[in-house]
Amino acid sequence: MNPFSYLRPTTEKEAFAALSQPDTMALAGGTTLVDLMRLEIMRPLHVVDITGLPLGKIETGVSSITIGALATNSDVAYHPDVVAKLPALADAIRAGASGQIRNMATTSGNLLQRTRCPYFRDASSPCNKRSPGSGCAALEGFTRMNAIVGTSKDCIAAHPSDMSVALVALDASVHLRSTSGERSVKVGDFYTLPANHPNVESVIQPGELVVSVEVPITPLAATSRYVKVRDRWSYAFALAAAAVALDVQGGTIKAASVVLGGVGTKPWREPAVEQALIGKPATQEVFVSAANLALATPDVRPDNAFKVGLAKRVVARALGLVAGGSK
Amino acid sequence: MPSAGCRVLAFARDWSPHSASHVEQRALRSHLRGLGADLIIVSAHQAWRIRPDDEIATLGELAARELARAHAIKREDAVIVLDYDHASIFEHRGPVVDHSQLLASLTAATEAMLMPAPTTFTRRGWMSTCLVSGFATVVLASCKQHEHRDPVPEPAVVPPPAVAHEIDIELDVNGTTHKLRIEPRVSLLDALRERLQLVGTKKGCDAGQCGACTIHINGKRVLSCLTLAATAQGKPITTIEGLAEGLGGGALHPLQTAFIAHDGMQCGFCTPGQIMSAAALIKENRAKTDDEVREQMSGNICRCGAYPNILAAIQSVRGGNAG
């Protein structure tokens, strides 16, 4: 690990001052940053420990639940209001990582975690995300865990977060703060596609901090589920996952939200599937035919072509579980 | 100067931090990290202390002379390994003519150490000695290479910027407050093992994947390898050594007893992490069925595959076997 200076501010003013220096990283739970610093994939000169800031609360309002940036994944996944009102979010977080890591990892850290593409994590491989312009070893490499949508000729790294997939499905917003003010971005618009700049992964700007994530409380959200398929039963990243939500009234689907994980360079919403569901009866036949519209133009490689069929079946299964549970 | 277990003294007349490339220095640090040892290299006019995660400390010409005198070194190269009590447990003096010669003498030294005093034998002591001795050969070999190198400067290696500085921290471990001076990049795991000699917490992958380093901070199970020691200040830390505290002298925690009763281990390396994780799992009260316990314990890998017995041990303490 390269040496760095360490500061633990207790006010936002101090924190923003410290974060304005070049080559500075904010440290929260450490499960991504400490790991990548040890691998010397990330080499900040200054580390600002933001865990002294009062950003850990989870507050239930009338129309939304606001989750502080420093609320841990365990805090969120087992919060009674999250479990009752945002089940896909609780499911998704519990489907990720391990008990220990969920106790450490924070909401903002989960949002901003880096890809698990093995070539990003191997300093000896070319990687445009790590070293812009160096090339992409994954294109000709082992791609079982890589993305098949949202890819570019420069990067096919999959987005690793389960939580973010659920947040997109639940139409959540990220609240960002800097010295020049505050702004909100839908989680669906927070992440950027790799295109020819895979080193840029989201719209967050230098000097900005995630302060909270706000998730609307809706009938749709109350009947949401997250289904994840992985290479082992627990503690593995997704091969394919789906966060789905259905608002079914009188047997007819009034609203639908379908977002895929494990297949995209960012959480991947499927509007075609959603449109095919709305107005139809909530039957398994409808779910299967709608799910088959997902991933219409995938960018597959021999190692990951299986993800197309797998993801469609995951969507159909998740829809079936939601419909079954909402009765 | 606090001693971190064993110490390797390498007398290498021509060594200097500038003669060792960045890559070589990194290899040295990486070797040291796992050993519980620090390394002191003594050249003709200077001595340096190297620890895995600290800047190289210059000890001064006086220290170099004192060390050479204490170990009766004149101009020759030598490697001396000192144990916890600063007794010499291995010595090699003179240049390395042939690597196999040195290895043979190492083997003899290890055997000699084990033979006369089996009652004082500990696995950690033995492993440290073997590792340190083996490492010492690498150090000396790399020191020797520099003697024969043409004086062509290596490609410029950008030294790490001088932003690192040691900081003073206090850690509250198992009810005792410890003052430490550390670099910010030192993990809590390394601080516990190498500075506080609390070696029950194990280093498996050092990457947050195996769970061997599981401890409790604020009563919650976390990974000490992905926790910087500096961030753990002011928070109560419990390690396997402190798990049974408050139960009376010598008593084991019920999970420790259950792991023995159910034979929940084979090699035992993952066991402290398994037990710390399981103790938290029981307190969290989120897992009841066997499948739920398996899921909640998935962050603790056992390469011997003692999982059925680990599960049985946990379920016996949890008070149900609703599988």
Specify the fold of B6-148: Glutaredoxin (3.40.30)
**Does the domain at residues B254-318 carry the CATH identifier 1.10.1740.10?**
no
- Tell me what pLDDT residue B10 has: 84
Residues in chain A: 327
Contacts of B142 (CB under 8 A, 6+ apart): B20, B24, B28
Question: Domain limits at A11?
Answer: 1-49
* Residue B112 DSSP SS3: helix
| Nearest-CB residue to B299 (from A30, A46, A99) | A99
Cβ–Cβ contact B158 with A under 8 A: no
Cβ–Cβ contact B318 with A under 8 A: no
For residue A47, the chain B residues in CB contact (below 8 A) are 184, 228
The Cα A190–Cα A201 span in angstroms is 9
For residue A233, the chain B residues in CB contact (below 8 A) are 294-295, 298
Cβ–Cβ contact B116 with A under 8 A: no
A5-7 and B57-58 strand pairing: unpaired
The Cα B137–Cα B133 span in angstroms is 7
For residue A100, the chain B residues in CB contact (below 8 A) are 211, 214, 221-223, 277, 299
- Tell me what pLDDT residue A289 has: 98
The Cα A94–Cα A272 span in angstroms is 28
B269: number of Cβ within 10 Å: 17
| Nearest-CB residue to B163 (from A39, A46, A78) | A46
For residue B299, the chain A residues in CB contact (below 8 A) are 97-101, 235
Domain of A244, CATH number, reads 3.30.390.50
- The DSSP bridge partners found for residue B50 are B39
Cα torsion for A36, A37, A38, A39, to the nearest 10°?
50
Is residue A242 one of the residues assigned to a domain? yes
With 90 as the cut, is the pLDDT of residue A203 above it?
yes
For residue B161, the chain A residues in CB contact (below 8 A) are 3, 45
The Cα B253–Cα A305 span in angstroms is 50
For residue A5, the chain B residues in CB contact (below 8 A) are 163-165, 184
Smallest CA-to-CA distance from A214 within A185, A244, A164, A174 is with A174
Is residue A320 one of the residues assigned to a domain? yes
With 60 as the cut, is the pLDDT of residue A5 above it?
yes
Query: When comparing pLDDT for A266 and B141, which is higher?
Result: A266
Is residue A110 one of the residues assigned to a domain? no
Q: Which residues of chain B does CATH 3.10.20.30 include? A: 167-242
Chain B residue at shortest CA distance from A29: B227
Phi, psi of A91 (to 5 degrees): -55, -50
Cβ burial B80-109 (10 Å sphere, 16+ → b, else e) = bbbbbeeeebbebeeeeeeeeebeeebeeb
CA distances in angstroms from A186 to A59, A168, A190, A204, B265, listed in the order given: 19, 8, 6, 12, 48
Rounded mean pLDDT of A288-301? 98
Cβ–Cβ contact B309 with A under 8 A: no
- Tell me what pLDDT residue B30 has: 66
- Tell me what pLDDT residue B323 has: 38
Q: What is the pLDDT along chain B (323 residues), one digit of tens a residue?
A: 334 466 778 888 877 887 777 766 776 776 666 566 778 888 888 888 887 777 788 888 888 888 888 888 888 888 887 776 677 777 777 765 455 555 565 566 555 555 555 455 566 666 666 666 666 666 666 555 554 545 555 555 555 545 558 999 999 999 999 999 999 999 999 999 999 999 999 999 999 999 999 999 999 999 999 999 999 999 999 999 999 987 877 899 999 999 999 999 999 999 999 999 999 999 999 999 999 999 999 999 999 999 999 999 999 999 854 33
The Cα B228–Cα B241 span in angstroms is 20
A64-68 and A173-178 strand pairing: unpaired
Give the minimum alpha-carbon distance from A246 to chain B in angstroms, rounded to a whole number: 27
Domain covering B167-242 in this structure, CATH number: 3.10.20.30
According to the 3-state scheme, what is the secondary structure of A191-256? ECCCCCCCCCCECCCCCCEEEEEEEECCHHHHCEEEEEEECCCCCCCEEEEEEEEEEEECCEEEEE
Helices B22-33 and B123-148 pack at an angle, to 10 degrees, of: 170
The question of ipTM being above 0.90 is answered as: yes
Cβ–Cβ contact B323 with A under 8 A: no
CB–CB contact A6 B228 (8 Å): yes
Q: Which residues of chain B does CATH 1.10.150.120 include? A: 254-318
With 80 as the cut, is the pLDDT of residue A46 above it?
yes
For residue A4, the chain B residues in CB contact (below 8 A) are 163-164, 184-185
Q: Which residues of chain B does CATH 3.40.30 include? A: 6-148
The Cα A296–Cα A311 span in angstroms is 12
Smallest CA-to-CA distance from A165 within A268, A65, A31, A257 is with A268
Residue B221, both tokens: 């199970």
CB–CB contact B163 A34 (8 Å): no
Task: Find out whether A184 and A44 touch, Cβ atoms under 8 Å.
Answer: no
Residue A129, both tokens: 């995300």
Number of domains in chain A: 2
Q: What strands, in cross-sheet order, belong to the sheet with A5-7?
A: A5-7, A46-49, A24-27
A96: number of Cβ within 10 Å: 29
Is residue A309 one of the residues assigned to a domain? yes
Q: The tokens 């070696």 sit on which residue?
A: B199
Domain of A23, CATH number, reads 3.30.43.10
Element (H, E) at B109: helix B99-114
The Cα B196–Cα B32 span in angstroms is 16
The Cα A160–Cα A113 span in angstroms is 7
* R_g over Cα of chain B: 23
Task: Find out whether B144 and B136 touch, Cβ atoms under 8 Å.
Answer: no
- Tell me what pLDDT residue B45 has: 86
Give the minimum alpha-carbon distance from B282 to chain A in angstroms, rounded to a whole number: 12
Task: Find out whether B79 and B105 touch, Cβ atoms under 8 Å.
Answer: no
The Cα A173–Cα B120 span in angstroms is 62
pLDDT tens for each residue of A98-114: 999 999 999 999 999 99
CA distances in angstroms from B218 to A188, B11, B187, B206, B295, listed in the order given: 35, 45, 17, 22, 23
The Cα A44–Cα B160 span in angstroms is 11
* R_g over Cα of chain A: 19
The Cα A6–Cα B165 span in angstroms is 9
With 60 as the cut, is the pLDDT of residue A7 above it?
yes
| Nearest-CB residue to B164 (from A5, A30, A37) | A5
CA-CA-CA-CA torsion sign (B104, B110, B112, B114): negative
The Cα A311–Cα A260 span in angstroms is 8
With 80 as the cut, is the pLDDT of residue A115 above it?
yes
Which residue, among A48, A100, A233, would best test binding to B if mutated, counting the most B CBs under 10 Å from its CB? Answer: A100
Task: Find out whether A161 and A197 touch, Cβ atoms under 8 Å.
Answer: no
- The DSSP bridge partners found for residue B170 are B179
- Tell me what pLDDT residue A51 has: 97
pLDDT tens for each residue of A136-173: 999 999 999 999 999 999 999 999 999 999 999 999 99
Contacts of A249 (CB under 8 A, 6+ apart): none
